[in-house]
Amino acid sequence: MAAVSDRAARDRRVLILSAGGTIGMTGTGGAQPDLDAAAIVANTTGLEEFDGLEARTLMNKPSAHLTAADQLTICRAARDASRRGIGVVVTHGTDTLEETAMLCDVLHDAEAPIVFTGAIRTATAPGADGPANLVDAVSVAAAPAATGLGVLVVFGGEIHHARTVRKTDTTSLVAFSSPQNGPLGRVTEGHPTIWSRLPRNPPLDPPNLDRNVLIVPTTAGDDGTLARAALATEPDGVIIGTLGAGHLSPDVLELWGEAAERIPVVAYCRPERGVILSATYGYPGSERDLRGTAVIPAGFLSPQAARMKLLACLAAGLSIDEVRWAFRQDDG
């Protein structure tokens, strides 16, 4: 797709929803939540050029403290505003920003974009990055070129899609990246340029996220101890790690294959890029054996993104076959 640069007058109203995180914290040693949405906007130079900008505080928590119910509240508020044709910016802590953004993408059913952003440095730190990220995020949310893109993450001048973004650095000002496909575009001098898009997935509307979904990794020498311990908790679903392009020890694969007959078991690849293969290898426990079970490949989704999607699928009442269909859209 040819690059689209939106330098025309911004013609979409924008609502900023504050959910907390470093962007609203003050102090350089022992930083704590402090600023609400109005204060964040007041401390940000460059937002005055956007007409009709509104700001509302949903909560003010470090994102490590957010519950699934909190995340659903954030996503519903953003979705409901976007249904009215309003571009939405959510300020959010970076620790779990990608999980909430993924959940929001699962719920999002409108054309106006929803954009997540945050900060690595507190509002009172030298070189605070929150204001620049917020201005960039608002410019994307207001831009006609962002129509229909879904849920985005704007950070460090880059535009990412919620389904592919990961936090890949703890302290860099460019903390987020999309290992699978790269950014969708950039923001330069306040103007977003979009050069690629991802297809939208059919939305879900779960009434709650009251399900137990575990993430269970694997390693060399895995004897299934962790898998058996996880299954003993009787989870509603499990996200399992695989080595390489979908490989497990035969005994561990047997455990998960049996479990997948009862509950959704979704498998991700340990590498940041790539998907589960289909028929390259044929040794016991290879991807051919994995795909011969009822285990569901997660495609390019990260384990944390796959968990949020599975939580929404289960809470929305999808059967195992319907969950398989939902994840097939991400399985390259």
Which residues are identified as catalytic? 22
Distance CA 190, CA 224 (A): 51
Contact in structure between 25 and 165 (CB atoms under 8 Å) = no
Distance CA 92, CA 21 (A): 5
238: β partners: 214, 265
How many CA atoms does the CB half-sphere of 319 hold within 13 Å? Answer: 3
Which single residue is written with the structure tokens 């859209």?
Answer: 329
Residues near 170 by beta carbon (within 8 Å), at least 6 away in sequence: none
Contact in structure between 75 and 34 (CB atoms under 8 Å) = no
The SS3 of residue 260 is coil
Contact in structure between 181 and 159 (CB atoms under 8 Å) = no
Which single residue is written with the structure tokens 């289960």?
Answer: 314
Q: How far apart are the first and last CA of the chain?
A: 20
H or E element: which one contains 324?
A: helix 320-328
Which single residue is written with the structure tokens 């999808």?
Answer: 318
Q: In Å, what is the CA distance from 217 to each residue of 125, 271, 272, 273?
A: 36, 12, 14, 16
Other beta carbons less than 10 A from residue 157's beta carbon? 16
Q: Tell me the residue type at 100.
A: T
Question: Torsion-angle region of residue 251: left (phi > 0), alpha (psi -120 to 50) or beta?
Answer: alpha
Q: Tell me the residue type at 270.
A: R
